[in-house]
Amino acid sequence: MTQPPIRQSVRILGIDPGLRRTGWGVIEIDGNRLTYIGCGSVEPPDTLSLAMRLLGIHEGLAKVLGDFQPAECAVEQTFVNKDGVATLKLGQARGIAMMTPAMFGLSVAEYAPNQVKKTVVGAGHADKNQIQMMLKILLPKAEPKSADAADALAIAITHAHHRQSTMLRLKVVGA
């Protein structure tokens, strides 16, 4: 008789990229159970040049990766807004948010904002208050101090729910 495989918990880092505040959230998934590990944000001073702010985001995320040792990572996709310059700058922060975990050998999954909202709240156009209310239910010990940290936890939860299909897709495309 063969033994069933031993379940392994998986630590997931969710990242909500931004130039002013890059939110991060770490959870663990063990079967269906989600456990809150930590969250916060990287906030480089606005007075720094763009290059130095991007470096600050990289260094902050590298510290999070070193401290929490996640096995998987997920980042929110950028939505394009009417301000092209702001969208480009956000894209640069998102590039750092994807590159830093990749430097630690992690594959990085991407999720659209509507998919994150739909996964956590059940509706693709949920507002931030609805997300924070659901986080209290799904991760009762979590007390994110910013909306960015809350969003990062929601991204991590989304990855926890979709990771099997996402990881398979990443393997197929060779990422």
Residue indicated by tokens 């750092």: 96
Structure tokens given for 144? 């994110």
Task: Considering the candidates 28, 72, 76, 151, report the single residue annotated as catalytic.
Answer: 76
Task: Considering the candidates 43, 72, 148, 151, report the single residue annotated as catalytic.
Answer: 148
- Burial pattern 10-48, b for ≥16 Cβ within 10 A else e, equals ebbbbbbbbbebbbbbbbbbeeeebebbebbbbbbeeee
Task: Considering the candidates 16, 28, 72, 151, report the single residue annotated as catalytic.
Answer: 16
Structure tokens given for 35? 């456990």
CB 18 within 8 A of CB 7: no
Query: Considering only CA atoms, which of 175, 168, 111, 139 is closest in space to residue 38?
Result: 139
127 is catalytic: no
**Residue 122, phi-psi category: left (phi > 0), alpha (psi -120 to 50), beta (remainder):** left
143 is catalytic: no
16 is catalytic: yes
The residues carrying an active-site annotation are 16, 76, 148
